[in-house]
Structure 1
């Protein structure tokens, strides 16, 4: 994937909104400890997208449409280049994409990955939402089902999580929960954790074998150290105070941000103690680092089997942006290793 072209496209797409630039006096060069490819991402300017302030429904729709076009074209090309077949269908009336690699390992043929894309509950419609799922299919040789859930502001809480769980239940009917791992990053990471809460409410037989929650938006309010100390350091999201805050407001639609089905970090101990093996991922420059750490701590406090990876110098979700970066290839290998351990123990 040409991440530079995608970042440029997304930056241009957001210019219809009022933009406040990041503090240009703050510059943190990439350390010598990362690869040349990762350094290029770390040193890149922050896209204007997350500094925008959409005011009208037209603003939101234009932003989402521009993102879907740019990211969708990039994702389609990446899937084709990597030999991943992408098919659209519906499960329980919810649109999904099934990603099938050229080869599925023999010990993975009865397994499936249920993927939930990120995008702040506002971005990632259609094929634009499958980018992170492609290497899970291409490199790790799993079949992946990606859910194309409804999004705000047209469809606020709980539309997104209702769609994801409805589609998930259909996958359970086909594969059995013990053969399903759920994963996603950012909003998708939060929705992965929320799906665990929803599954618990319907009985342990609905609980997936594993959860992979990359840099989850586990608290939609501006609570946590990294929202402050990594502001302007994270060159993907930049700040909470513009598009992220607006997205939280239009998605929550007046509901309490501490509702665990909105901010899963507030889930009860009685549920978290029953969580399956969970892997959380973040980076040292990630605006959502505290979200990730707080969620990991909650799980450990309840003796749930939880692991945490924090990548050097990485801003929000950058660990999957460039499939040519050795860090990205290693990241997907870590995911593969985690799932292998989980299913070996079953």
Structure 2
């Protein structure tokens, strides 16, 4: 049963999202909306104690390292933030990425890929692949890298892996998907079943964001909606989703499609949870427990690859 804290937090989120959906905010420019999104993300928490942050540049892309004095410096999680391919930055997801790195005991690399609509598909995938290749050039072995991401970032993790596979490049050790947005056609039953339960996402907003990201491409393109791709050959996956989010079907479809391709999949549907609840670790016991599960998965993967 979901905690009392989650019950309160979910109610507060519904009120906040309703306030953000006002006509006044919708009429603001994209830069202003992104700024507001960053401000909200920053309020969700500060970096855990002893976390070290190092901003860097990879060509034209901003990125940063997050690590602790005890982090294994030879293992890394490449974290791709969510935000419907239109929003999000290191500012919005730094704390979540840092907590994941803390539980996994490894460094986290957090790049800021290009956003739509200025840079529609496939710009974000190109940047994710670039970040991975950069890590390889720094001396990291593919088996020492795990892709992770939430929402659009989770879909991006899968799509970038598909590009690497199709170009016969070495793949990361695993993929971690939090509330993955991987069916931009919005065809799953949870889009209807959970639309009253979801405190954060709306079907209309998701469909608008999908169209902005896809540009001139069809929404069922296998790199835009990887639930329509052949996932054969991809590394093990951990997929977490909440039973109150409209993207629950995305997670379930991704798990099914991956298993059809022979991928080792761990699917976790968290009762009463909503989209990317893991980001609320300061407030929710369920968020902390979910991040602990992510850390355990990552540690297990890295131990297996060492053998």
Asked whether the equivalents of residues 110 and 179 of structure 1 are also in contact (C-alpha less than 8 Å), the reply is yes
**Which digits, 9 at most, give the CA deviation of each residue in 1:281-303, with x for residues without a partner?**
10111110000000000011222
The answer for the alignment partner of 2:172 in structure 1 is: 208
Please say if 1:115 is aligned against 2:79.
Answer: yes
Counterpart secondary structure, 2:29: helix
**Which digits, 9 at most, give the CA deviation of each residue in 1:21-68, with x for residues without a partner?**
xxxxxxxxxxxx222322322333411377468877x63222112212
Asked whether the equivalents of residues 112 and 181 of structure 1 are also in contact (C-alpha less than 8 Å), the reply is yes
From 253, 260, 264, give the equivalent of 2:215.
253
Q: CA deviation at 1:323?
A: 3.0
Asked whether the equivalents of residues 101 and 295 of structure 2 are also in contact (C-alpha less than 8 Å), the reply is no
Instruction: Give the Cα separation in 2 of the matches to 1:49 and 1:96.
Output: 31
**Which digits, 9 at most, give the CA deviation of each residue in 1:181-227, with x for residues without a partner?**
0101101110111111011022252x000000111110112210000
For structure 1, the residue ranges without an aligned partner over 5 or more in a row are 1-32
Counterpart secondary structure, 1:323: coil
Please say if 1:193 is aligned against 2:155.
Answer: no
Q: CA deviation at 1:87?
A: 1.6
Q: CA deviation at 1:319?
A: 3.0
Counterpart secondary structure, 1:143: strand
For structure 2, the residue ranges without an aligned partner over 5 or more in a row are none
**Shift in CA distance, 131/220, structure 1 to aligned 2, threshold 3 Å:** farther
From 274, 295, 309, give the equivalent of 2:233.
274
Alignment RMSD (CA, Å): 2.1
Instruction: Give the Cα separation in 2 of the matches to 1:52 and 1:246.
Output: 16
From 269, 283, 287, give the equivalent of 1:310.
269
Q: CA deviation at 1:345?
A: 2.2
Instruction: Give the Cα separation in 2 of the matches to 1:61 and 1:69.
Output: 12
When normalised by structure 2's length, the TM-score is: 0.91
Asked whether the equivalents of residues 215 and 288 of structure 1 are also in contact (C-alpha less than 8 Å), the reply is yes
When normalised by structure 1's length, the TM-score is: 0.81
**Shift in CA distance, 71/118, structure 1 to aligned 2, threshold 3 Å:** same
Count of residues in Structure 1 that have an aligned counterpart in Structure 2: 301
The answer for the alignment partner of 1:90 in structure 2 is: 57
Q: CA deviation at 1:336?
A: 1.6
Asked whether the equivalents of residues 84 and 137 of structure 1 are also in contact (C-alpha less than 8 Å), the reply is no
